[in-house]
Amino acid sequence: MNNLVEIRNLRVAFDGVPVLHGIDLDVAPGEALGLVGESGCGKSVTWLAALGLLPGKASVSGSVYLQGQDLTGAPRQALERVRGKRVAMIFQDPSSALNPVIRVGRQIIEALRLHRGLAGTAAKTEALRLMDLVGIPDARNRFNLYTHEFSGGQAQRLMIAMALAGEPDLLIADEPTTALDATIQAQILDLLITLRHEMSMATVFISHDLAAVAQVCERVCVMYAGKIVEEGPVAQLFDTPRHPYTQGLFDAIPSLSGPRRRLVPIPGTVPDPRHLPTGCAFEPRCARARTFCTQHRPELLPQPEGRQLACAYPVPVAQDAVQPEEEYQ
Amino acid sequence: MIRFVTSRLFRAGLTVLSVMTFAFVVLRMSGDPAQVLLGPDVPQNVVQDFRDRWGLDDPIWRQYLSYLQAMMQGDFGLSMRDRSPAIDLVMQRIPATLQLTIPALILQLAFGIPAGIYAALKQGTLADRSVIVAAIVGFTVPSFVMGLLLVLIFAVTLGALPSGGASSWQHAILPVLTMSIGGIGVLARFSRSAMIEVMGAPYIRTASAKGVSWSDVVRNHALPNAAVPIVTIVGFMVGSLIAGAIIVETIFSWPGMGRLLIVSVTNRDLAVVQCILLLVAAVMVVSNLTVDLLYGWLDPRLRQTTSAH
Ligand SMILES: Nc1ncnc2c1ncn2[C@@H]1O[C@H](COP(=O)(O)OP(=O)(O)OP(=O)(O)O)[C@@H](O)[C@H]1O
Ligand SMILES: [Mg+2]
């Protein structure tokens, strides 16, 4: 077992409505994995469930192994030792993710005390070092300020500093740049890339922004309606997406390199978890779907070229990336 | 900070002045003290004498000006009934009222807030629902009904406690309970919703995600945030305590300010009523001011910061 995290058949339901339908996912030590998919497909829930952070009304089954230790159903104390220490998580809206009534320096020190047993001047020195590391200018004088006295980008840097405090093996970044301006986004992405290499920590990067995923990650998982539909190396999925949904995601963004393509949004919307189609969840929106797809849910299966795919009629490999667009018309 | 306090003090002064003016006008428009105090069978010249002495035939604005003038010199006027200084009459009653209101406020804080927070943390359980139901009963039953009910149970049926008077500390139990129950209900419900909201906030999830234990999340991350809205409602409750004192002192014949107010209003004893209303306004203003200052202390976002960046 040389994976850092192995998620097996993870299922989550809220008030009896299933929203995750059996996720299998591995994270190797030090790797950067992207998790993409439209809003509501279960990207956040996957990792909140893994860390036991979902509200009580959520029922979770399956296993999440962290270097062999199963986290699902682990006692609260065991989870508390994992959170922040082995696996840290940062969130979308940094300004509301930091406590508004506690000085930011103290919030970082709290993590240092919990995970590294630091107190007093040692803790403060280390907190200041972390603030410097993530690029908070003039950390010493801003140590005692409150969250609202920082911009969104600075607040996200503080979140990252706090996440680094436990020297985690894995950082889950849940849409860390979505709430920020474009230039700030780029800075935060650079910071995440640098830190990952410096601290040799694995990163799971959850995002809608495929360009950002390509920049940060080596491997990417595409999720749709609570399932992984395609998984593989970033270059492979970008060059030859095989799941029609993956292809649809790429067609919906302006391509940075290569020939200019027309932007084609995926028709229709994400299905309501309470009324999923009986067959493939993507079938109603899929141009390649056939009758078979309305009856059968495809399994996520390994493909010869190394990726995993859950589709009965995938985009053929040999096909040029431009051609399938015709089929959408 | 100084500007903040001065502007608040100015507004406080304005509030007190409006209350005084309103009370002055309404009292004088709504009944004739001479008629009420002297009764219907008194000869005309005695009534005229009385009216002259208290200046009741002067135009109302002149009465008002001389009232203000006297106030400026610390003269709160004389009671029309026995011509002793109104302020003395009121002051004599304050300790009795405090004997009810302070324990009632303490009970409200000591039971209402913990019950609400407990319910919030146990949201959806039987314990939570019991707290909600008890709280709703507590604040929907009017205090005079609650008072009579308590008397019926503890004084009449069980004979365990006195139903009126003020000769021992046992006499205070039923009035204090009557006064505090509604407030406990209000505070419990309010603290519950404040706490539920805070527990759902993103920074609480952050704290859990960084490995803070559940009890420390509640104590160090949630409670300081929930304190802000809770303090607001406590500020309001000081006002309802005073209103409660008026009713409860009447039900339980408790010799406090509330009962003095009722008696003085009935008798159109203008100076005494005005004196009490002024005091009530001052208490309300002070409690609002305290809440504002507490706000700034509890929530850094509301501070008028001048801290350097
Ligand atoms: N606390 C909750 N209670 C009920 N349903 C929830 C809760 N959290 C998430 N869900 C549901 O679970 C599903 C997956 O949500 P999740 O937040 O994981 O989506 P996501 O992929 O992270 O989307 P986004 O890009 O918007 O963050 C959605 O249908 C959502 O409505
Ligand atoms: Mg999400």
Q: Quick one: three-class SS letters along B209-246?
A: HCCCCHHHHHHHHHHHHHHHHHHHHHHHHHHHHHHHHH
Where are the domains positioned within chain B? 86-308
Q: Which chain B residues are within 8 Å of A165, Cβ to Cβ? A: 210
Q: Which chain A residues are within 8 Å of B309, Cβ to Cβ? A: 141-142, 145, 149
CATH 3.40.50.300 positions along chain A are: 5-217
Residue of the CA atom closest to atom 5 of ligand 1: A14
Say yes or no: CB of residue A45 within 6 Å of ligand 1: yes
Residues recorded for chain B: 309
| HSE toward the beta carbon, residue A305, CA cutoff 13 A | 15
Backbone angles phi, psi at B134, to 5 degrees: -60, -40
A103 and A74 in contact (C-beta within 8 Å)? no
pLDDT of residue A257: 59
pLDDT of residue A322: 46
Residue of the CA atom closest to atom 18 of ligand 1: A42
Backbone angles phi, psi at A46, to 5 degrees: -55, -50
Cα–Cα distance between B184 and B141 in angstroms, integer? 12
pLDDT in tens, B147-205: 999 999 999 999 888 888 888 888 999 999 999 999 999 999 999 999 999 999 999 99
Look at residues B278, B284, B256 and name the one whose alpha carbon lies nearest to residue B20: B278
Look at residues A261, A264, A265, A298 and name the one whose alpha carbon lies nearest to residue A282: A298
Say yes or no: CB of residue A225 within 6 Å of ligand 1: no
Provide the Cα torsion A244, A275, A46, A191; round to 10°: 60
Q: Which residue of A has its CA nearest to B202?
A: A97
pLDDT of residue A321: 47
Cα–Cα distance between A7 and A48 in angstroms, integer? 13
Report whether CATH 3.90.180.10 matches the domain A5-217. Answer: no
Q: Which chain A residues are within 8 Å of B206, Cβ to Cβ? A: 91, 97-99, 159, 162
Q: How far is the CA of B247 from the centre of ligand 1 (A)?
A: 52
Say yes or no: CB of residue A12 within 6 Å of ligand 1: no
Taking any CB pair shorter than 8 Å as contact, residues of chain B touching chain A are 124, 201-203, 205-214, 220-221, 224-225, 228, 298-301, 305, 307-309
**Residue B206 and residue A53: Cβ atoms within 8 Å?**
no
CA B129 to mean position of chain CA atoms: 29
Give all strands (DSSP E) within chain A, no chain letters: 5-14, 17-27, 32-36, 58-66, 69-70, 87-90, 170-174, 202-206, 219-224, 227-233, 301-302, 308-309
Beta bridge pairs of residue A170: A87, A202
Residue A170 identity: L
A221 and A214 in contact (C-beta within 8 Å)? no
Residues of chain B falling short of pLDDT 50: 305-309
Contacts of the segment B217-225: beta carbons below 8 A, 24+ positions apart = B218/B121, B220/A102, B220/A110, B221/A99, B221/A102, B222/B195, B222/B198, B223/B117, B224/A101, B224/A102, B224/B298, B225/A99, B225/A100, B225/A101, B225/B198, B225/B201
Note the ipTM here: 0.89
Task: Provide block-wise average pLDDT over 10 residues at a time, chain A (329 residues).
Answer: 90 94 95 94 95 92 94 92 95 94 96 95 96 93 95 95 95 92 90 92 92 92 95 92 91 63 76 91 91 91 91 79 42
A244 and A212 in contact (C-beta within 8 Å)? no
Q: Which CATH class is domain B86-308?
A: mainly alpha
Residues recorded for chain A: 329
Contacts of the segment B255-260: beta carbons below 8 A, 24+ positions apart = B255/B93, B255/B96, B255/B166, B256/B93, B256/B94, B256/B96, B256/B97, B256/B99, B256/B100, B257/B90, B257/B93, B257/B94, B257/B96, B257/B97, B258/B97, B259/B93, B260/B89, B260/B90, B260/B93
pLDDT of residue B309: 39
A72 and A6 in contact (C-beta within 8 Å)? no
Q: How far is the CA of A241 from the centre of ligand 1 (A)?
A: 25
Cα–Cα distance between B175 and B147 in angstroms, integer? 7
> Which ligand lies nearest the alpha carbon of A46?
1
Provide the Cα torsion B185, B186, B188, B189; round to 10°: 110
Q: Which chain B residues are within 8 Å of A162, Cβ to Cβ? A: 206, 210
